[in-house]
A and B are shown apart, each in its own frame.
Chain A
């Protein structure tokens, strides 16, 4: 590793990207997805350590990080939008459902 990371995609199959510095919109963020360099326009403020959508994610679609399902979208999430508890629900330990 030779340079500072400012955004990281954990596995090529992920549909979210984690930022390693605060991103103020609109901003083009570049990430390495399994060797392919991809640039996404971020449309919302993303705090350090938070995630944005690499592509538009439909309501009910799985959200993938580390190549695994980390939850389901509770509404449509536009490419470059913040992905967090307001639009992602956990599939596990749900005594409320």
Chain B
């Protein structure tokens, strides 16, 4: 969690398209000021958690990887870990290793330091410290000092054009394509029109709708990338020799009325709005372009969030029909329900209700504008429900076997 720095008296107006964020020394904008504890390997999860739990206001991640990985798969895991450390929402990092792992904590710490020389980075290696208790004490002392440093930073006005919004739908139902996704599409268009960036992802949930997305790409090469991404993804399901239904759509999607991946995808792509698709990029690849970008991620919610955040998304707008409670440890994750019933039933976890479109109380446009205003407030420091409840979901896509 970010240190408690009260948001200034921020007043939203259409004339001043700014939020209040943190200006990093390398010029990038952040919307949180986390001290993050990162284990380089599954074996150091417990120590990472212990460090964070001793220092209130820090956050940590846990994962199942970091050892006995090969080639590009090991590199992708390392890249995602490094990218969370270098993320502009992160002030400082404690990297925790066991000491004998494939993805060495020393390398992760060094890469973060190389990319962001201004960030405090502290390395803890359990075998060198003499066990988990001593490692936790060393890490906690470093985290404590970082948190005090972080608390002295002030938010400053930053143009909304610098914001990168990740869009996601999880636990879709038949209302996803009628209420929350079309509304988020309006939000995405508004942000892009103000010079910002929005990310469409979850490639498996574009299967059956790729021709619609490809029809509004900036050029033929990007259109080809759309079809290539879909072909690679669909080939994985075909290669397994099974009907994809059950994995996509999931049993919950089916219960909610979605009969096929095509139906789910056609509802999913509404959240990408109507603007020109500028590029298709790989999982966790740095997001450097403006406008609408498709990141090729799995449809599994947490692997998708993690990839988008590693790419540089500041925050995630997450529509849901069945209901979800998840949240990134680094990027605020705003939950938007497709129905009023869900908003009321899982109110602990859902930030905004798009079900007013179904009940006829608001238009798609009105809800899209409401999500946009909320994004500016969240970017300026207002907490999401997932942040307040301490969610720190994190999962890395694997592209190779564990040996």
By a beta-carbon cutoff of 8 Å, the part of chain A in contact with chain B is 1-5, 8, 10, 18, 20, 47-51, 63, 65-66, 68-71, 83-85, 88-97
Main secondary structure of the interface of B (DSSP, over half): loop
Whether the pair B263, A70 counts as a contact (CB closer than 8 A) is: yes
Q: Which residues of B contact A91 (CB under 8 A)?
A: 208, 260, 262
Q: Say yes or no for B46: interface residue by CB 8 A criterion.
A: no
Q: Which residues of B contact A90 (CB under 8 A)?
A: 208, 243-245, 259-262
Q: Which residues of B contact A93 (CB under 8 A)?
A: 204, 207, 234, 237-238, 243-245, 248, 261
A48 to B339, CA, bound (A): 11
A49 to B263, CA, bound (A): 12
Smallest Cβ-Cβ distance to B230: which chain A residue: A92
A4 to B359, CA, bound (A): 5
Q: Which residues of B contact A97 (CB under 8 A)?
A: 243
Which B residues between 186 and 226 are near A, CB-CB below 8 angstroms?
A: 204, 207-209, 212
Of the residues B245, B248, B262, B362, contact of A68 by C-beta under 8 Å: B262
Q: Which residues of B contact A84 (CB under 8 A)?
A: 254, 257, 259
Whether the pair B257, A47 counts as a contact (CB closer than 8 A) is: yes
A89 to B256, CA, bound (A): 17
Of the residues B243, B261, B266, B357, contact of A1 by C-beta under 8 Å: B357
Nearest first, the 7 A-B pairs at minimum CB distance are A93-B244, A49-B174, A49-B257, A90-B260, A93-B237, A70-B263, A50-B257
Whether the pair B360, A5 counts as a contact (CB closer than 8 A) is: yes
- Most central of B240, B243, B259, B358 by chain A CB within 10 Å: B259
Q: Say yes or no for B6: interface residue by CB 8 A criterion.
A: no
Q: Nearest chain A CB to B54's CB is how many angstroms away? A: 46
Q: Which residues of B contact A10 (CB under 8 A)?
A: 177-178
Bitwise, B328-360 to A at CB < 8 A (1) or not (0) is 000000000000000000000000000001111
Could you jot down 23 A-B contacts, CB within 8 Å? A1-B362, A3-B360, A18-B174, A48-B257, A49-B173, A50-B174, A66-B263, A68-B266, A69-B262, A70-B262, A70-B263, A71-B262, A71-B263, A84-B259, A85-B259, A88-B260, A90-B243, A90-B244, A90-B262, A92-B244, A93-B245, A95-B244, A97-B243
Q: Which residues of A contact B175 (CB under 8 A)?
A: 20, 49
By a beta-carbon cutoff of 8 Å, the part of chain B in contact with chain A is 173-175, 177-178, 204, 207-209, 212, 234, 237-245, 248, 254, 256-257, 259-263, 266-267, 321, 357-360, 362-363
Given contacts A51-B174, A93-B237, A94-B244, 12 further A-B pairs with CB under 8 A are A1-B362, A1-B363, A4-B360, A18-B257, A49-B174, A70-B266, A84-B257, A85-B254, A85-B259, A88-B260, A91-B262, A95-B239
Main secondary structure of the interface of A (DSSP, over half): loop
Whether the pair A88, B259 counts as a contact (CB closer than 8 A) is: yes
Smallest Cβ-Cβ distance to B255: which chain A residue: A47
A6 to B23, CA, bound (A): 48
Whether the pair B174, A71 counts as a contact (CB closer than 8 A) is: no
A5 to B359, CA, bound (A): 7
Whether the pair B237, A51 counts as a contact (CB closer than 8 A) is: no
Whether the pair A92, B363 counts as a contact (CB closer than 8 A) is: no
Q: Which residues of A contact B259 (CB under 8 A)?
A: 51, 63, 70-71, 83-85, 88, 90
Q: Which residues of A contact B256 (CB under 8 A)?
A: 49
Of the residues A70, A71, A88, A92, contact of B234 by C-beta under 8 Å: A92
A10 to B259, CA, bound (A): 16
Smallest Cβ-Cβ distance to A97: which chain B residue: B243
A48 to B257, CA, bound (A): 8
Q: Nearest chain B CB to A84's CB is how many angstroms away? A: 5
Whether the pair B208, A96 counts as a contact (CB closer than 8 A) is: no
A20 to B358, CA, bound (A): 8
